[in-house]
A and B are shown apart, each in its own frame.
Chain A
Amino acid sequence: DSGVTQTPKHLITATGQRVTLRCSPRSGDLSVYWYQQSLDQGLQFLIQYYNGEERAKGNILERFSAQQFPDLHSELNLSSLELGDSALYFCASSPLGRAWGEKLFFGSGTQLSVL
Chain B
Amino acid sequence: QQQVKQSPQSLIVQKGGISIINCAYENTAFDYFPWYQQFPGKGPALLIAIRPDVSEKKEGRFTISFNKSAKQFSLHIMDSQPGDSATYFCAAQGGSEKLVFGKGTKLTVNP
Contact = CB atoms under 8 A, between A and B. Distances in A.
User: Are A and B genuine complex partners?
Assistant: yes
Interface of A: 2, 4, 33, 35, 41-45, 48, 56, 58, 90, 92, 99-101, 103-109
Query: Contact residue range for chain B?
Result: 20 to 34
Nearest to A103: B46
Interface string B31-49: 1101010000111111001
Contacts, number: 51
B98 A108 contact: no
Q: Which A-B residue pairs are the 5 nearest by beta carbons?
A: A106-B43, A42-B103, A43-B101, A101-B32, A45-B98
Given A99-B96, A101-B51, 11 more contacts: A41-B103, A42-B101, A43-B101, A43-B104, A45-B100, A90-B44, A99-B98, A103-B46, A104-B44, A104-B99, A106-B44
Interface of B: 31-32, 34, 36, 41-46, 49, 51, 89, 93-94, 96, 98-104
